Chain A
Amino acid sequence: MSNENSPSVPPNTPQHPAVQIDGVGKSFAGTVALEPVWLKIRQGEFLTLLGPSGCGKTTLLNLIAGFLEADSGELFINKDLVTQVPPHQREIGIVFQNYALFPHMTVAQNVGYGLRTRRVSKEETAERVREALALVKLEDFADRKPNQLSGGQQQRVALARALVIRPKVLLLDEPFSALDRNLRTAMQVELKEIQTRLGLTTVFVTHDQSEALSMSDRIAVMSRGQIRQIGSPTDIYDRPQNQFVSTFVGDANLFTATLVERSETTARLTIGETALQLEPYQTDLPDPGPVTLFARPEQCRLTQAGQPGTIPATVALTVYQGSYAEVHLDCAAADNRVMQRVPANEAPSRGTTVGIALPTQGPAIYSLNGEAQ
């Protein structure tokens, strides 16, 4: 499922990929954690592995780091075959979810650890530790112990510790999930800035779709040990290739429909009593028959009830969200409730019957039993 030549990804200047994963797979005691995966990560790219827990994203990260041994396939870092190379020789920087700062060492000793293992001279170590701490704005904290730092400061130290060895690849394992919301956003911006400035190839593991959308050059959406789609954030959000991706990233309105006829660019279908003609973005449409129609809430519009070409629905609930209101609608043609966002002062009251107008361009049609979440 690796879609290497996504048109919307800016071409970097790589002669060779920073990381190349050729059919790497992993099982634990007979349970497949990761189906064989093919993936090339470009030099300087920020690639996110996004998926729910148990989807195999952390397994893939551990395989890149060398903490796990692959059952199959080969792994290359900068053209070097590293499948059998132990983690301490891979020159990879890692920031863990809980940071894993060494509690018995000071901040400076933590940051300098990777230089001492490389037998860098004392003077150079001191200089590079200073630089790394300056990069994360913690110059004044060199002599503190990790337990004297806040969560955000600990994370900066972990980042400095990983960066100071000038790694070939930086791996981030859900690094923001232990931070509170405001700090998280600030750290995301800061990390992205540092990453861009250093041009550092980064693999980021998260289950948080908004983190993935805001930080990544490319996102690989994973579920059940497979990459379900890989592409730029716009690809993933605007053109999800299957139902899993459409519902996992962003909000999705899904309708039960019947595909009547398809041509290369258009599809005719019926939703309940409503007949529609649409132009989906997909290259391969399912066979005529029962299908699932997908559209983002912001592509749909609420209209007066009974307008031709709209799908009838009843307002079940409106949720006030400050600048807008979420309108949840019961709709005979949808499995779950349909959700629409409207300006807060225009929210229809509960029980109102309305129509849902679908866009003619943009929605996707998935075969009915594509899968649920």
Chain B
Amino acid sequence: MKKSPLDHLLDWSGRILLTLILGFVLLPFIVVLIASFNDSAILSFPPKSWSLRWYANAIEYRDFGKGLVNSLKIAAIGATFAMIAGAGFAYVLNRYEFSLKTLLNSILMSPLIIPNFTIGLGLLILSTAASLPRSIWLVIGVHVIIVLPFVVRSVYVSLQNFERRYEQAAESLGAAPLRVLLTITLPLLVPGLVSGALFAVILSFNEFTASLFVVNQRTQTFPVAMYNYVREYADPTLAAVSVIYVIVVAALLLVVHKFFRLEKVLNVE
């Protein structure tokens, strides 16, 4: 079919619009990427001379290293707890009928409505009142609460799409319920579980607001360390950190994609 001039116009304006939107989405990162190579010690833009010294500074700065280790620890332990609890809750919500189901669902989803700083403040007051030490476990607790709804949702959706006939086939072949769970249900739910874990790790690693309330010098997370740094120095180190961060996360997603196919994990298929 031959295209009319109007079709051409719509075609081209559509392309331009898409390019602009994508440009807008990527703009912050592009600015930061350029700024990270600025030789000057103040965050001026555009840079006049170029250097890699802020990358060196970012890697050498001790608080970043400690914050990174804390954040990884918190994300790993927190996501593990959230996965176990979240998958359990999702299974219960999907498989059983009980009178307080709606209530349980609402409670599990409530961290989506309650702002992160409220969660942080709440646990801070509670820990002070109970004279709990401000240890890393307090931070992990806050993170578990924040990521739990995402894990529950993700696993719940996979369970909804799960074909029960697989389990029935296994049962008819003599598999007791635990064996069905371990050899059929769990292996087939792996994409949903990976998706939940991925959400949990990334959200936990990025979390800043709630963490700010419950960390101290020893337990500060990576984002909090970045915040503390920028309060003292205005050099492009943070831009360098940002670039490293983006590259690491992109690499992580590529690895997940290689093993599980991201479309499946993110339920966009």
Which A residues are within 8 Å of any B CB, using their own CB? 65-67, 86-94, 96, 98, 100, 102-104, 113-114, 117-118, 161-162, 165, 171
Contacts and interface: CB of A to CB of B under 8 A. Distances in A.
B244 to A, nearest CB: 37
B178 to A, nearest CB: 11
Nearest to A97: B165
Contacts of A92: 172
Interface string B164-176: 0110111111111
A308 to B, nearest CB: 60
Contacts of A89: 174
Contacts of A86: 171, 177
A88 B176 contact: yes
Nearest to A101: B169
12 contacts: A67-B171, A87-B171, A88-B172, A88-B176, A91-B174, A96-B165, A96-B168, A98-B163, A113-B170, A114-B174, A117-B174, A161-B173
Given A88-B174, A113-B175, A117-B174, A100 B188 contact: no
A117 B179 contact: yes
Contacts of A103: 188
Interface of B: 163, 165-166, 168-177, 179-180, 183-184, 187-188
Contact of B170 (A102, A118, A171): A102
A100 B169 contact: yes
A161 B173 CA distance: 8
B166 A102 contact: yes
Nearest to B188: A104
A88 B188 contact: no
B174 A93 contact: no
A93 B170 CA distance: 10
A358 to B, nearest CB: 48
B230 to A, nearest CB: 48
Contacts of B184: 102
Q: Which 8 pairs of residues, A with B, have the shortest CB-CB distance?
A: A114-B173, A100-B165, A117-B174, A87-B171, A100-B169, A94-B172, A117-B175, A88-B171
A86 B175 CA distance: 10
Nearest to B165: A100
A65 B165 CA distance: 12
A345 B173 CA distance: 56
Nearest to A114: B173
A69 to B, nearest CB: 14
Given A103-B188, A104-B188, A98 B172 contact: no
B10 to A, nearest CB: 40
Contact of A94 (B169, B176, B177, B187): B169
B174 A104 contact: no
Contacts of A161: 169, 173
Contacts of A66: 171
A58 B176 CA distance: 23
A102 B174 CA distance: 15
Nearest to B168: A67
Contacts of A87: 168, 171-172
Contacts of B172: 65, 87-88, 90, 92-94, 162, 171
A102 B175 contact: no
B155 to A, nearest CB: 18
Contacts of A65: 168, 172
Contacts of A98: 163, 165
A165 B173 CA distance: 7
A44 B173 CA distance: 20
